[in-house]
Structure 1
Amino acid sequence: MDKNPWIIVSMVVGMIFIVLERRRRPKSTMKLPPGPPKLPIIGNLHQNLRQIGGGDELIHITLFKMSQKYGGIMTAWLGTKPTIIVSDHEGAWEVLVNKSADYASRLVAYIPKYISANCTTLSTSDHGPYWQSLRKGVQGYAMNPSAISTQTLSQENEVIAMTQTIQEQAMINGGIIRPLVYIRHNTIRVVGRLCFGPEFNNEAFVIGIDPLIDDIINLFAISRFSDAFPFIRYIPGLWGSFRQAVEIRDRVVSTVQSEITHYQSSKSPCTTCYLHFLLSHGYPMETIISILFEMFLLSVDSTSSTIAWALAFLIRNPEIQKKLFKEVSGGDEKRERVTVYQVNKMPYLQAVVNEVFRMKPIAPLAIPHKTVKDTTLKGWKINKATAVMVNIYAVHHDPKVWDHPEQFMPERFLNENARNVSVAMERSFLPFGAGMRICAGMDLGKLQVGLTLANLINKFEWVAADGDGPDMTDDYTIILRMKEPLVAGIKLRTNLGTTLS
């Protein structure tokens, strides 16, 4: 059937929907901050459609450039709905920390609701007793320091096993490796033990959940348009993305449910894992599945992508890689592995990791906030239920705060430069957010990135797979990833002059 009639129908229905919505909605008394001119119906969507069409500039960069003209607090329109964009550290700190209770609700797009059991997960639920219970469960079980420390040896052994697999695969491929899949699987195992217990060892689950994470992230890329134009979910021929969301949700349920069933059938199930907390508190099974899947969704891609970005930066900056190797190897090139304890004693490694977080914040626009009540932001009156988005990328690249923000300079985070670190810099480094809704997995994420990167650098010298070096082009959906997954050459540190072949 010709699709043109559906396009005409959608336009007519859309216009009717928008007119009715405007008549129904009470007139706002809020004076909005300045922002770029908007078009009727679509607002400012035309200014970030280029990323959908394969353009070079992504939305967080476009918004950053707009903020340099319209200010650190500006208004952008998603269709007919205004969103307050915060691009400076003062505004970000006010939203995330000083008035975090006023901005503690979430703005969740329609499509992600399918995967989050209608916004009943930790990252999607509004602040309140329910959210506080989930947060307490994460901190007391999954991210409990004791729970993390009990798997330290397993974590170290798996990283070493991963480096061995990478070495074997590189030998088959003439010294060339695509490391991302191995890093992803390694992260899934770590999160799996926190969710299901230290005995978790299900490779079928690891392999099965990995593509589901990718599918969800790719699907979320279009979610902003379903919220800008809600009527499209009712137009035949245009609801394919919603149907796809239901199909992916069913696959998620099947994959996670099988591991829950295995846990429940165990004669001595773990009582310190996150699943035990969720089951013992009587959450509905649909919610439990969504909460557990969210643990993998928010951990796997963010951790693995950060490590891939780090390797790419180190390939392009061989002097920095040499300096890092000197620290992680202990200076004698004989250290067989880098342990968790040693990672915590390596200032240059931490500086490298922090600089990667600054340069390539995994969630450059974070998860949008929504005001709980009428409040203010740097003098502007902000009404209840207003969408507020913090542009972490803009804060991390503010030239008024960071010297040469486009340069990869780990030294800016070293202790000897502490006297030069201003309050502005401290409040302008927000890779995990801040305040009430700071990422619960921050400590584990930083540890996993540092441990994995240290061992990869300790064992291999990372070089360009070709003369041009890694492609550093960004790809942003809800996660900032490399558009082309990292391809690199590696050389064994035991013989720096020999390429694996």
Structure 2
Amino acid sequence: MLLIIITTIIALLVIYFYKNVYSFPPGPFPLPLIGNLYSIDIKKLHIWVKEQKEKYGSVFTIHIPIPFVVLGDVDAIKEAYIDNGDNFLGRETRQIFEKFFNIKENTGVVLSEGDWWKNQRRLSLTILHNFGMGRSIIEERIKMSIDDLFEHLDSLKDKEHIDLSKSLHLTVGNVINGILYGFIYKHDNAEKFYEFTSLFEQMIKGTRTWKMRIAILFPDINKIPILNKFISKPLMEIQRKIFEIHHTNIEKCKKTYNPNNEPPNFVHAVLKELESNESKYSNLENDHLEGMVRDFYTAGMETITVTLKFFFLYLLNDINLQEKLRSEIYDVVGKDNEIHLSHRNELIHVESFIYESQRKSSILGFPLIRKCTKDTYIKNNLIKKGSLILPYDYIANHDEKYFKDPYVFKADRFINEDGETLNKNLIDKFVPFGAGKRICAGKSLAEAELFLILTHLLQRYRFIPNGPIDMEIQFGNLLTPKPYTCKIEKIL
């Protein structure tokens, strides 16, 4: 009798499971409990997801093991996030990230939603705009960081085995550090900065392990002490240290805060706003300040640094391309003249190279999850309220429909046949910073840093590979190149 009851319960659960499966857009066949995990190479998840797109179209469902609706081309992404943007502003945070990282609900810009998200994003963008994001002020901040990089590279005795990643990391980090905290690190005294980046690199490596995947996909596993200690606790300890560094920097920043002075950094500006009797953001607290700082620090440093590492990987792999871009800089700007953001429209081969590098690398290995807040049809597929959404930029940016030979790096891909103008129609099919109301808040800062750091380095130095270039990508929440070194020759 007991066996019959157990069998009946299992059968009913299986029936319920598949009834739920068929309420989503079609996709690869899932099994109860494990979904599609039986058929996935977790180290090449982005490749596997693209293969499913070829089978099921631009809107499909994968179970890993939680069901996710994938938006697999730029048209589906824009139909959802621009044409129906208000229906896709939700974030699924409590189930996955908050439980794993112990993040307080609705703190920061990335994982919050509703009015909490609107208020924190609006306040952040207002402050960043006041600090010059998108204007000449931010250009000067970036150039100051580049000048420090020049001084550091020129001072190196060994120019034969240079790890560009460390220098680029600090250069980018100092820009966001100056904006958020009001201080920067010198290249010869940056131990604390590299302690932080080391922790973050450990986190990225952790996302490549099966333990991390289990912890994120099954967040309730943290409630089981033995499994928590084995699977989640080591990574949570790394994350705790990262949070503590931010907390310490914010507390130091608070000690120099004077409400009577014009705020010199993001932290002071938020504090002044929160203290104002006329503030629109009186519901925000210190936890929200720390969340905003963490989000902008991570987004403003790691993604830009990884993208720059791909830039120089491609340039080391093709010396002729490197010389071509350098020649364009010399022809348009000159060898000794200063490069400005205003030169972007004239340096079309440099711009096309930047677009193609971002397209080819598409560094988000696992996109930021959104949540559908209202039943919506996308590409004639019903996406039900509450569905979790993966806008897979990697797939969209490797779509054969718009990008011929998508896995081949073509530096001039985004240039028209006339050889003199950029192909704006193709650029419109390219998704480097997301789309819609949740588009990357630091887009203009990222574009400025990528352009200025790349062009200034090419104008001043020649980069030479140390042997064969390994183009293999390492999978994680961020797709990264393998570590490499190079030689540099000063030109100017």
- TM-score, scaled to structure 1: 0.83
Could you tell me how far apart the structure 2 residues matched to 1:20 and 1:123 are?
Answer: 38
The DSSP-based 3-state class of the residue aligned with 1:141 is: helix
Deviation at 1:276?
2.9
Alignment of 1:97-108 (within 5 A): 97-108=82-93
Q: Percent identity?
A: 21
Q: Is the 8 A contact 1:111 1:242 kept in 2?
A: no
Could you tell me how far apart the structure 1 residues matched to 2:219 and 2:58 are?
Answer: 29
2:122 aligned residue (120, 136, 159): 136
2:318 paired residue number: 317
Q: Is the 8 A contact 1:100 1:435 kept in 2?
A: yes
Query: In angstroms, what is the RMSD of aligned CA positions?
Result: 3.1
Could you tell me how far apart the structure 2 residues matched to 1:417 and 1:18 are?
Answer: 64
1:298 paired residue number: 299
Superimposed CA distance per residue, residues 363-385 of structure 1 (whole angstroms, 9 cap, x where no aligned partner): 24421111112222211221111
Q: Which amino acid aligns with 2:57?
A: G
1:72 paired residue number: 58
Q: Which amino acid aligns with 1:225?
A: I
Could you tell me how far apart the structure 2 residues matched to 1:303 and 1:329 are?
Answer: 25
1:259 matched to 2:249? yes
Could you tell me how far apart the structure 2 residues matched to 1:29 and 1:35 are?
Answer: 9
Could you tell me how far apart the structure 2 residues matched to 1:70 and 1:111 are?
Answer: 28
Deviation at 1:472?
1.4
Q: Which amino acid aligns with 2:136?
A: S
Q: Which amino acid aligns with 1:101?
A: D
Q: Is the 8 A contact 2:106 2:117 kept in 1?
A: no
Comparing 110-119 and 232-241, the one that deviates more? 110-119
1:237 matched to 2:237? no
Cα gap change, 1:258 to 1:375, in 2 (>3 Å): same
Q: Is the 8 A contact 1:195 1:274 kept in 2?
A: yes
The DSSP-based 3-state class of the residue aligned with 1:389 is: strand
Alignment of 1:369-388 (within 5 A): 369-388=370-389
1:452 paired residue number: 453
Could you tell me how far apart the structure 2 residues matched to 1:92 and 1:325 are?
Answer: 35
Could you tell me how far apart the structure 2 residues matched to 1:342 and 1:439 are?
Answer: 23
Deviation at 1:97?
1.2
Q: Is the 8 A contact 2:365 2:476 kept in 1?
A: no
Cα gap change, 1:258 to 1:438, in 2 (>3 Å): same
Could you tell me how far apart the structure 1 residues matched to 2:218 and 2:472 are?
Answer: 30
Superimposed CA distance per residue, residues 263-316 of structure 1 (whole angstroms, 9 cap, x where no aligned partner): 222265652532134323253323322321221211212111111111111122
Could you tell me how far apart the structure 2 residues matched to 1:397 and 1:304 are?
Answer: 22
1:46 matched to 2:46? no
1:165 matched to 2:152? yes
1:486 aligned residue (481, 484, 488): 484
1:473 paired residue number: 472
Could you tell me how far apart the structure 2 residues matched to 1:314 and 1:132 are?
Answer: 40
2:171 aligned residue (173, 186, 189): 186
Cα gap change, 1:378 to 1:235, in 2 (>3 Å): same
1:37 aligned residue (2, 9, 29): 29
The DSSP-based 3-state class of the residue aligned with 1:376 is: strand
1:228 paired residue number: 217
Deviation at 1:27?
6.5
Cα gap change, 1:374 to 1:164, in 2 (>3 Å): same
Could you tell me how far apart the structure 1 residues matched to 2:185 and 2:72 are?
Answer: 43
Deviation at 1:144?
4.5
Superimposed CA distance per residue, residues 236-268 of structure 1 (whole angstroms, 9 cap, x where no aligned partner): 332134323442343234322332222222265
The DSSP-based 3-state class of the residue aligned with 1:74 is: strand
Deviation at 1:115?
5.8
Q: Which amino acid aligns with 2:175?
A: V
Alignment of 1:316-335 (within 5 A): 316-330=317-331, 334-335=335-336
1:212 matched to 2:215? no
Could you tell me how far apart the structure 2 residues matched to 1:29 and 1:158 are?
Answer: 51
Q: Which amino acid aligns with 1:479?
A: L
Q: Is the 8 A contact 1:116 1:124 kept in 2?
A: no
Residues matched between the structures, number:
463
Could you tell me how far apart the structure 2 residues matched to 1:445 and 1:355 are?
Answer: 16
1:288 matched to 2:289? yes
